[in-house]
Amino acid sequence: MKLAATLVAMLLPFMAAAPSHAADDIVVQSAAAELHDGVLEFTVRAGFPADEQTSTALMDGATVDLDVEVTVDLQNRFWRDEQLVEDNFRRELTWNAPSQRFVLRDVDSGHQRTFATLEEALEAAGKVDGWQVPFTQELDPAETYEVSVRARLRRGRMPNLLRALTFWTRYWNRSEYYRWELPR
């Protein structure tokens, strides 16, 4: 515990000087879902900014995580909403110095593509088509189901203790939720 307090004291001046940015740099522009045979199939369009900090992190050898997360909640009128589904679509962006290209890799499938510019790579990272999420819940026509989608960007890897202390910096950033009711 003493080590953690010392670490916080040493890093606090650096973190206080870091610029604070709003979460609206990343935006979910559109999202849709269709239910087929117990599977929700998502199409999402998110915008990830090509800023100097992301470019510098990549050039320094860091991995940038680009995630899209979804939740489906059963809306309750007089009690907390019940979360039925939570899933993440994860991608990693790296810089390959020998080929001078950005490499975008889907974490779950391992499929990867390369791009000449950071802007092209971030644009491709924001396009999610045919993302299948299991949904075995029987839809009750009398109930309301809310779908929430948001996009996240995280630069590099950091221990959980330091990540908790830097929540206001540009180490990570996420969009506001894009929400809609699931048609029954």
Domain of residue 41, CATH code: 2.60.40
Kindly give, in sequence order, each residue whose CB lies less than 8 Å from that of residue 93, ignoring residues fewer than 6 positions away. 58, 63, 64, 65, 66, 102, 103, 104, 105, 121, 122, 125
Q: How many angstroms separate the CA atoms of 174 and 54, rounded?
A: 14
**pLDDT-based confidence at 111, cuts 50/70/90?**
very high
Range 120-124 contact pairs with CB under 8 angstroms and sequence separation of 24 or more: 121/93, 122/48, 122/49, 122/50, 122/54, 122/66, 122/93, 123/48
In a domain, 9, yes or no: no
In a domain, 177, yes or no: yes
Residue 163 has pLDDT above 60, yes or no: no
- Report pLDDT digits (tens) over 57-107: 899 888 999 999 999 999 888 888 889 999 999 999 999 999 999 999 999
Q: Is 28 exposed, middle or buried (0-12, 13-18, 19+ CB in 10 A)?
A: buried
Task: Quote the distance between the C-alpha of residue 41 and its chain's center.
Answer: 18
- Report pLDDT digits (tens) over 18-42: 333 443 489 999 999 999 888 999 9
The confidence score (pLDDT) of residue 73 equals 94
Pull the structure tokens for residue 108: 């779950």
In a domain, 8, yes or no: no
Q: Name the strand (E) or helix (H) holding 165.
A: helix 160-165
DSSP-derived 3-state class of residue 135: coil
Burial per residue of 65-75, b for 16 or more beta-carbon CB atoms within 10 angstroms, e otherwise:
bbbbbbbbbbe
The confidence score (pLDDT) of residue 124 equals 97
Question: For 20, which DSSP code?
Answer: P
In a domain, 159, yes or no: yes
In a domain, 73, yes or no: yes
The confidence score (pLDDT) of residue 15 equals 39
Q: What is the domain count for the chain? A: 1
In a domain, 59, yes or no: yes
Question: Cα angle at 140 between 45 and 176, to 5 degrees?
Answer: 30
Least confident of 6-10, 51-55, 115-119, 128-132: 6-10
Q: What is the pTM for the complete model shown?
A: 0.77
What is the domain range of residue 124? 21-181
In a domain, 49, yes or no: yes
Which phi and psi (to 5°) does residue 116 adopt? -75, -30
DSSP-derived 3-state class of residue 95: strand
Under a CB-based contact definition with an 8 Å cutoff, are residues 147 and 69 in contact?
no
**Average pLDDT of the chain?**
82
In a domain, 133, yes or no: yes
